[in-house]
Amino acid sequence: MSAALRSDLDRIRARVGAVPDPELPVITLADLGVLRSVRQDADGVVEVVVTPTYLGCPALPVIEADLRTVLAECGHPDGRVTWALSPAWTTEWISEEGRRKLAEHGIVPPGPVGAPLPVRLGLGRPCPHCGSVATRPLGPFGPTGCQTVLVCTACQESFPHMKAV
């Protein structure tokens, strides 16, 4: 790989990584961990490989269109966006920076994968308003498919929590 190509791919990688998630614009695609690779394919075309968070996520076509725009802006109007299903995305791929941004935005970041869902009073995810763990699920799904809504029994506020998958 020539130095010019390497620096071109690095530049594209930085640009596509900085694309905001359409549904949760506080975090970027790099924060979410959905960006798999930016490479030159065997046919010479520059390809961005991304993994969908949820197969039914309505943001996927928007992400694809955004990535095409960035590719065109970087001088690759014929660049390719490929969705790779395998390995399946997991919330473990969300970066520390991504978790911090979610928390700052009032969305409780996902817990470890495989941990039981909060079902009992006093064992829930900490309330972002008062810190109490006396929280319980209000609805299994929230404003987006990847979130669930909890309510704090201490301060009575409800708050979104990103599901661990």
Partner 1 sequence: MTSELRGAVAGTRNRDIAEYALRLGDDALILCQRLCAWVTNAPTIEEDLALSNIALDLLGHARTLLSLSGRSDGTNRSDDDLAYRRTERQFRNALLPELPGGDFAVTIARQLAYTHYTSLLYAELAASADEGLASFAARAAKDAEYHRLHASQWTVRLGLGTEESRRRMQAGLEHVWPYAAELFEADDLTARLDTDGTAVAPARLQAAWGREVAGVLTEAELMVPAPSWQATGGRSGLHTEAFAPLLAEFQSVFRQYPGGVW
Residues that bind partner 1 (CB under 8 A): 52, 54-58, 84-89, 117, 138-142, 145, 149, 163, 165
Please state the closest distance from residue 37 (CB atom) to partner 1, in A.
16
For residue 159, which of 104, 99, 120 has the smallest C-alpha distance?
104
What totals of helices (H) and strands (E) does the chain contain, helices first?
A: 4, 6
In the complex with partner 1, the residue whose CB is nearer, 9 or 81, is 81
Q: Which is nearer to partner 1, 44 or 116 (CB)?
A: 116
With H, G, I as helix, E, B as strand and everything else as coil, classify residue 106: coil
Closer residue to partner 1, CB minimum distance, 124 or 142: 142
Closest separation in Å from C-beta 87 to partner 1: 7
C-alpha R_g of the chain: 18
d(CA 62, CA 26): 16
Taking the C-alpha atoms of residue 48 and residue 45, their distance in angstroms, rounded to an integer, is 10
Note whether 129 and 157 are within 8 A (CB). Answer: yes
Least spacing, CB of residue 139 vs partner 1, in Å: 3
Closest contact distance (angstroms) between CB of 48 and partner 1 is 18
User: How many of the other CB atoms lie within 10 Å of CB of 122?
Assistant: 11
Which residue, 55 or 130, has its beta carbon nearer to partner 1?
Answer: 55
Are the C-beta atoms of residues 94 and 32 closer than 8 Å to each other?
yes
> What's the closest the beta carbon of residue 74 comes to partner 1, in angstroms?
27
Nearer to partner 1, 28 or 148 (CB): 148
